[in-house]
Amino acid sequence: MAADTIHTKETFTTTTSSTENITTQVQALDIKNPHNHHQHHHHLLHKYNTTETDEADDDDDDSCCARSPVTLGPSPSVAKEHGLARLIKNNRAWSKAIKERQPDFFEKCSQGQQPKVFWIGCSDSRVPENELLQLAPGEVFTHRNIANVVVSTDLNCLSVLQYAVEVLKVEHVVVCGHYGCGGVAAALGDHSYGLIDHWLGNIKEVKAQHQDNLDQILDQEEKCRALVEINARNSVLTVAKSPIMKAAWERGQKVEIVGLVYDIQTGLLGELGYHLKNVEDLKAQLSVDSSTLFAARDTIANTRS
């Protein structure tokens, strides 16, 4: 795989919603087999309707709330807190809206899941995978932790990976980092944060492997962005090196590992250039050294300026 594809310009855009009429037009991320679109539930995500009574009850709560395209709940940008009663009310409205569109949706969901995507992401509340991919419940199997770190000793993550690959037969394992990641930013510094230092140590090891090239980036924000990318790359490689993936590829299972990065400031996903479909792809990535990776970043930055 070419090393100069560390961060391509290709992006996936999410759909937009209108605050005024609270509507949404949902498009699926074209990461699945287009012939299986009839199995998806994107059509469930439609205009949010309330009764007159509900609207009256919501006047003091939702006057400034944009509606989330997928969850139909208040926008995360709202600066006021909502108690448990508000959360339960949101859930009731969400369930009602879906049932009105497809009465048997939850009954079908209760019978099992067949997601094609396994998402390994950050626990950051601003990176909700179903929402930014515009996929409905049942379409994304998920594991999240601080800074989307995958290490060979994390039995939690590896157990979820094994279930996703061997039982659910997912076709895409997506490792997604995000710019503005607090965990990555913390790993760049030398401060002690207590228990989490043990976890951040995994990112610090990645930083140490690329220290010389990171030191050449003077802008701290850009340095953090670079570490976000190579940290996600490291997790991609760790997944690919796992016995789980090795066994899957040996038996001919078609499952690829994809590296993505999410830009919170734009709402866009970008490819990191990693599409590992077999052991040969893994070997090619392992042969790419740090200097080559950072040279590729410089090339892309120059083409954008």
The full set of domain ranges for the chain reads: 3-18+113-304
Q: Is 181 a catalytic residue?
A: yes
Active-site residue (options: 7, 62, 122, 176): 122
Which of 205-210's residues contact partners 24+ apart within 8 Å by CB, and which partners? 206/230, 206/231, 206/234, 209/290, 210/290, 210/293, 210/294
Q: Is the torsion defined by CA of 280, 286, 291, 296 positive or negative?
A: positive
82 is in an annotated binding site: no
Provide the pLDDT for residue 303.
53
Which CATH number applies to 3-18+113-304? 3.40.1050.10
Q: How many CB atoms lie within 10 A of CB 228?
A: 25
64 is in an annotated binding site: no
Q: Is 233 a catalytic residue?
A: no
Report the distance separating Cα 205 and Cα 8, nearest Å: 25
122 is in an annotated binding site: yes
Helical ranges in the chain per DSSP H: 52-62, 84-101, 105-110, 129-133, 155-162, 182-188, 196-209, 211-215, 220-241, 243-250, 279-286, 290-304
Q: Is 109 a catalytic residue?
A: no
Of 100-104, 224-228, 253-257, which gets the smallest average pLDDT? 100-104
**For residue 72, pLDDT beyond 80:** no
User: What is the mean predicted confidence (pLDDT) over 250-262?
Assistant: 97
Report the distance separating Cα 87 and Cα 4, nearest Å: 46
Higher-confidence residue: 161 or 28?
161
Active-site residue (options: 7, 62, 124, 143): 124
166-211, pLDDT tens digit by residue? 999 999 999 999 999 999 999 999 999 999 999 999 999 999 999 9
Helix (H) or strand (E) holding 274: strand 268-276
Active-site residue (options: 178, 210, 225, 233): 178
**For residue 23, pLDDT beyond 50:** no
275 is in an annotated binding site: no
Residue 100 contacts residue 48 (beta carbons within 8 Å) = no
Q: Is 178 a catalytic residue?
A: yes
The DSSP call for residue 68 is: P
**For residue 47, pLDDT beyond 70:** no
Of 40-49, 193-202, 224-233, 292-301, which gets the smallest average pLDDT? 40-49
* 3-state secondary structure at position 272: strand
Higher-confidence residue: 37 or 179?
179
Q: Is 157 a catalytic residue?
A: no
Report the distance separating Cα 232 and Cα 226, nearest Å: 10
Residue 270 contacts residue 187 (beta carbons within 8 Å) = no
Active-site residue (options: 37, 43, 92, 126): 126
Helix (H) or strand (E) holding 143: strand 140-145
Active-site residue (options: 181, 224, 233, 297): 181
**For residue 228, pLDDT beyond 50:** yes
Report the distance separating Cα 154 and Cα 235, nearest Å: 12
